[in-house]
Amino acid sequence: MRKKSFETNAIRAQMSRTTNREHSVPLYLTSSFVFEDAEQARALFADEISGNIYTRFSNPNNNELIEKLCLLEGTEDGIATASGMAAMYSSMAALLKSGDHVLASRSVFGSTHQILNTLFPRFNISYTYADIADPASWESKIMPNTKMIFVETPSNPALDIIDLEWLGKLANKHNLILNVDNCFATPYLQNPFAWGAHLVTHSATKFIDGQGRVIAGAVLGKKELIKEVRFFARHTGPALSPFNAWVLSKSLETLAVRMDRHCEQAHKLAQFLEQHPDVERVKYPFLPSHPQHALAKKQMRLGGGVVTFELKGGIERGRKFLNALKMLSHSANLGDTRSIATHPASTTHSKLSEAERLAVGITPGLVRISVGLETYDDIQVDVRQAIEGKI
């Protein structure tokens, strides 16, 4: 059979209809499902047949979202979670036990740091951070009790890129589970399974929703691994609301066109910032000045929708910039139709120490811009006037 494109799959994956012959996916707001008879109820609970029982376990909207995500990421199975962090936590907690060790990239999301630094040590699960800039050190940090490698690429907010092909080989050589937070790239820009990842985790709150409406996440992977994650989720309850799953399924239909535009505009803004005399430095994966530019080109379709930069004058200048914005939102989210500026050091990564922030490239004056879908010129005009203090 002819292999369908990403865009077609994202739109046409859902082909089954109820007897109402609806064109758009119906919404199943129901906490439970009725049994045909006592025998069916018994068989469902005994896992002898598959089917929906209770929405904490599964629901047609969540199932449909996961089927689509699996098709787009190139894997078999998954679970939809109530937030990105529920996905990160479930993917780790379901597969780790007391005594295990996680090797993680130092460049991971702030709350992922809190799970590894603060919560897991209570359960005797330890961690070591490794630096993206020093790939040679990673193998020496693998210990006999290491079970999982957890990375984020591109990372939030430093936009560091990790070589997934190299890491996939390293994980397989040592029989470790490679877990990749693919939130910044989305399945449209990058498919970690193609490079050897065993789990892909998402915050669907960002570009997958793309319109700043829902908090959601997903854990995806092969059936054997997801079986464990599903067991954990079924009994601990991080289930995604079917309404949010329905919203996200519709969002996936436009993911490709949205990402093309986010990336095109982010690339342009990065080029504009790079030539601006008041800008100290700019980071964007598809700018030749990015330290892992070649790697980004190898494993990503486009550079992503996020640009970071630092103005000359450090934190004070950064603060002035944020306060001077007229159109861009000053908010802690990203991946929205609306362009958003964030100051990571005082917000999303404020729980880390100054030293921890500097180690992952979050300098005090760093500003992150999630470039939205407004007309490009309007975005640039606002950014320029906020930098220059006049219009």
Ligand X SMILES: *Cc1c(COP(=O)(O)O)cnc(C)c1O
Q: Report how far residue 123's alpha carbon sits from residue 375's, in angstroms, rounded to the nearest whole number.
A: 49
Stretch that binds ligand X, among 32-40, 42-50, 79-87, 277-285 (CB under 6 A): 79-87
Q: How many residues contact ligand X, by CB under 6 A? A: 15
Nearer to ligand X, 69 or 142 (CB): 69
Binding mask 127-166 for ligand X (x = CB under 6 A): -------------------------x---x----------
Binding mask 7-46 for ligand X (x = CB under 6 A): ----------------------------------------
Residue closest to ligand X, measured at CB: 84
Q: Report how far residue 334's alpha carbon sits from residue 361's, in angstroms, rounded to the nearest whole number.
A: 19
Please pick, from the candidates 83, 190, 251, 265, the single residue that binds ligand X as defined by CB under 6 A.
83
How long is the chain?
Answer: 391
Nearer to ligand X, 62 or 386 (CB): 62
Q: Report how far residue 177's alpha carbon sits from residue 197's, in angstroms, rounded to the nearest whole number.
A: 8
Strand partners, 218: 80, 202
CB of 152 to ligand X, least distance (A): 5
Answer whether the bond into residue 192 is a cis peptide, omega within 30°: no
CB of 337 to ligand X, least distance (A): 17
Torsional sign, CA 69, 73, 78, 84: negative
Strands of 366-370's sheet in order across: 279-283, 306-311, 366-370, 340-342, 329-330
Q: Are 52 and 235 in contact (CB under 8 A)?
A: no
CB of 109 to ligand X, least distance (A): 4
Please pick, from the candidates 28, 109, 129, 207, the single residue that binds ligand X as defined by CB under 6 A.
109
Q: Per rule CB under 6 A, is residue 206 in the interface with ligand X? A: yes
Side chain identity at residue 215, one-letter code:
I
Binding mask 162-201 for ligand X (x = CB under 6 A): -------------------x-xx-----------------
DSSP code for 390: -
- Give first-to-last CA distance, the chain, whole Å: 56
Nearer to ligand X, 142 or 159 (CB): 159
Whose structure tokens read 């700043």?
Answer: 212
CB of 140 to ligand X, least distance (A): 26
Q: Are 237 and 218 in contact (CB under 8 A)?
A: no
Nearer to ligand X, 151 or 225 (CB): 151
Side chain identity at residue 108, one-letter code:
V
CB of 276 to ligand X, least distance (A): 26
**Residue 372, token pair as written in the block:** 């939205």
Nearer to ligand X, 146 or 244 (CB): 244
Stretch that binds ligand X, among 39-47, 82-90, 265-273, 281-289 (CB under 6 A): 82-90
Q: Report how far residue 219's alpha carbon sits from residue 238's, in angstroms, rounded to the nearest whole number.
A: 11
Contacts of residue 329, Cβ cutoff 8 Å, sequence gap at least 6: 336, 338, 339, 340, 341
Q: Per rule CB under 6 A, is residue 85 in the interface with ligand X? A: yes
Strand partners, 370: 306, 340
Q: Per rule CB under 6 A, is residue 215 in the interface with ligand X? A: yes
Q: Per rule CB under 6 A, is residue 84 in the interface with ligand X? A: yes
Stretch that binds ligand X, among 34-42, 81-89, 166-174, 284-292 (CB under 6 A): 81-89
Cα distances from 36 to residues 57, 252, 292, in angstroms, run 18, 33, 57
Chain positions contacting ligand X, by CB under 6 A: 83-85, 88, 109, 152, 156, 181, 183-184, 203, 205-206, 215, 217
